[in-house]
């Protein structure tokens, strides 16, 4: 039997998208590629900057559909991390709106977004270093109560053990003593337990050995197969092109290209990256 991300299995997003259909104007952002699907996350005219500095992002329009995997790529300094921070309340919007699951979430902080089914893997390996591997996993169930905690852990355990057997071996070890790759695996395992509708990742493969990157991308494929929407930020477009349905290129805080990985190759990609 295949392990499921969600107790009971199935994909609530695909079901919901199919049931509700697409309302006129739901995808009117002029972004080709993903076809008819209900948007789970929509950024409209998002402009942000730090302090009194010039904006880092300029009027960004971006949508992630239910079950869609979007790869957000671009050079160092293009504004990719800032875009994720704008989504999860880490930087204030100067203009524009962000909606998620049909509601305006502009300005909401990360804890509230997590409660609503968004998981966020920020840059670096954000594990709770003084806690053990097992305690880190249990904390991912914080929003649940009583027997729901046990059910969620049990439902996720099989998939986590299959993808990251090393975490089982290290379960009593402090997370701060894990290698960088193991910490990233632990972050992914926590996301599996959180059972998100939308997962945002900032350069999940940065600085990791190729074998570890394979593991991380296997887990992203597992999310994708279960209908979870993904927004994956990567500097290196090759890896993310393998799993995404659509790539979006960011350069100097503006979207310069969007299309399927097959459309965005060679000269088209180079010119979107570098101008
Ligand atoms: N906390 C900050 N304060 C001021 N400027 C920042 C801050 N974080 C990022 N920047 C600037 O914003 C721009 C985009 O950065 P970032 O979003 O980190 O790019 P990327 O993730 O694509 O490498 C860069 O010019 C960077 O120097
Ligand atoms: Mg970054």
Ligand 1, atom nearest to 253 Cα = 14
In this prediction, the residues of the chain whose per-residue pLDDT falls under 50 are 1-4, 6-36
At residue 36, the pLDDT reads 44
Q: How many residues does the chain have?
A: 275
At residue 214, the pLDDT reads 93
Backbone torsions φ then ψ of 65, nearest 5 degrees = -80, 165
Ligand 1, atom nearest to 123 Cα = 21
Residue 132 three-state SS: strand
Ligand 1 close to Cβ of residue 253 (< 6 A): no
Give yes or no for a contact between 117 and 191, defined as CB atoms under 8 angstroms apart. no
At residue 22, the pLDDT reads 39
Asked whether residue 268 is domain-assigned, the answer is yes
Give yes or no for a contact between 117 and 143, defined as CB atoms under 8 angstroms apart. no
Q: Which residue range is the domain that position 169 belongs to?
A: 67-89+107-274
How far apart are the CA of 83 and the centre of ligand 2, in A? 9
Asked whether residue 191 is domain-assigned, the answer is yes
Ligand 1 close to Cβ of residue 48 (< 6 A): no
Asked whether residue 6 is domain-assigned, the answer is no
Asked whether residue 263 is domain-assigned, the answer is yes
Asked whether residue 11 is domain-assigned, the answer is no
Nearest to 211 by CA among 170, 165, 177: 165
Ligand 1 close to Cβ of residue 54 (< 6 A): no
Radius of gyration for the chain, computed over Cα atoms and rounded to the nearest angstrom: 18
Taking residue 10's Cβ as centre, other Cβ atoms within 10 Å add up to 12
At residue 5, the pLDDT reads 56
At residue 267, the pLDDT reads 82
- Tell me, what CATH number does 172's domain have? 3.40.50.300
Asked whether residue 50 is domain-assigned, the answer is no
If one counts the domains in the chain, the total is 1
Asked whether residue 72 is domain-assigned, the answer is yes
Asked whether residue 3 is domain-assigned, the answer is no
At residue 32, the pLDDT reads 40
At residue 58, the pLDDT reads 98
The two tokens of residue 77 are 């300094």
Ligand 1 close to Cβ of residue 261 (< 6 A): no
């Amino acid at each position: 039997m295949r392990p499921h991300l969600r107790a009971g299995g199935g994909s609530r997003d695909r079901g919901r998208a199919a049931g509700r259909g697409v309302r006129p104007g739901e995808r009117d952002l002029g972004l080709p590629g993903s076809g008819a699907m209900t948007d789970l996350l929509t950024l409209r005219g998002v402009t942000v900057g730090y302090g009194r500095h010039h904006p880092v992002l300029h009027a960004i329009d971006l949508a992630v559909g239910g079950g869609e995997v979007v790869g957000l790529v671009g050079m160092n300094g293009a504004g990719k991390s800032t875009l994720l921070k704008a989504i999860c309340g880490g930087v204030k919007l100067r203009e524009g709106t962000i909606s998620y699951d049909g509601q305006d979430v502009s300005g909401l902080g990360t804890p509230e977004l997590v409660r609503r089914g968004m998981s966020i893997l920020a840059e670096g390996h954000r594990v709770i270093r003084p806690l053990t591997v097992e305690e880190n996993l249990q904390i991912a169930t914080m929003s649940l109560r009583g027997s729901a905690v046990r059910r969620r852990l049990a439902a996720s355990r099989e998939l986590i053990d299959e993808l990251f057997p090393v975490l089982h071996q290290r379960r009593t070890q402090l997370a701060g003593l894990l290698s960088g790759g193991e910490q990233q695996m632990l972050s992914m395992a926590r996301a599996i337990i959180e059972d998100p509708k939308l997962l945002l990742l900032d350069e999940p493969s940065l600085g990791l050995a190729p074998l570890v990157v394979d593991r991380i991308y296997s887990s992203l494929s597992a999310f994708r197969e279960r209908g979870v929407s993904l927004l994956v930020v990567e500097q290196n477009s090759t890896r993310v092109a393998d799993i995404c349905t659509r790539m979006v290129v960011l350069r100097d805080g503006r979207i310069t290209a969007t299309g399927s990985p097959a459309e965005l190759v060679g000269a088209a990609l180079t010119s979107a990256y570098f101008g």
